[in-house]
Amino acid sequence: MERERITISIKKTVLDKVDNTIDGTKIRNRSHAIESLILKGLGKEETRNAVVLLGGDDALKAIPATKEVLKQLKTIGFAHVDIAVGFLGDKVKNKLGNGEEFGLEFKYNDKAEGSGGAILSFKKNLSNTFIVVNQNRFTDINLKSLLNFHQKHNFPATIVTDNLDDFRGIYILDSEVLKMIPKGFSMLEDDLLPKLIKEGKAAVCPVI
């Protein structure tokens, strides 16, 4: 997400009201508060979206870990989750439902071409920083802390993984990375994440 540093003067009383909106979760800091309030005034409130990748043979095995992540997403202010499914899509949908169990709204897609194609299929919902869940091996990641880490560091991607060979994990991505995903069939694990790392555009957080 491209940003530009500016200098402005604001009345102290107004600034106090801006600071009162900071809760550390939905509004992380003063800059985020000002940006959020401006967007709201323009009728373009910031949305927080996540994508869950549940394709392939391990899709059903990933359901328990996915449910834990979905609960966290609701807690930290997310409302909508896009879910990409594969040939086990019907079974995944039966397990997760329409999102009501988690207080979330789900949108499913079973037509995506690979994990990269799945992200692009949801592109219109990903205009801000978003989370991608692509794992079934760990459930104790604190998403709030991860978002805060991403916000504080100048990388368009933060990758949490326990395997640097397949890169399965949880990713925080800024929308600018979408232009780096090839059209048609593509895999985040092969076509995007290694490129981001090679170009110094990703913070990698290994899980041990």
- Write out pLDDT tens, residues 19-78: 888 876 567 688 877 877 776 665 444 557 899 999 888 889 899 989 999 999 999 889
Same domain, 24 and 113: no
Q: How many structural domains are present in the chain?
A: 2
Query: Are 121 and 181 in the same domain?
Result: yes
DSSP conformation class of 192: I
Geometric angle at alpha carbon 173, from 171 and 175, rounded to 5°: 155
CA Rg value for the chain: 18
* pTM of the shown model: 0.78
Distance CA 149, CA 3 (A): 17
Strand-strand pairing, 202-206 and 49-54: unpaired
The answer to whether residues 63 and 128 belong to one domain is yes
Are 34 and 132 in the same domain? Answer: no
- Per-residue pLDDT tens digits for 141-192: 899 899 889 988 889 999 999 888 889 999 999 999 999 999 999 999 999 9
Q: Do 48 and 32 meet the contact criterion of CB atoms below 8 Å apart?
A: no
| 152 in Cβ contact with 205 (< 8 Å) | no
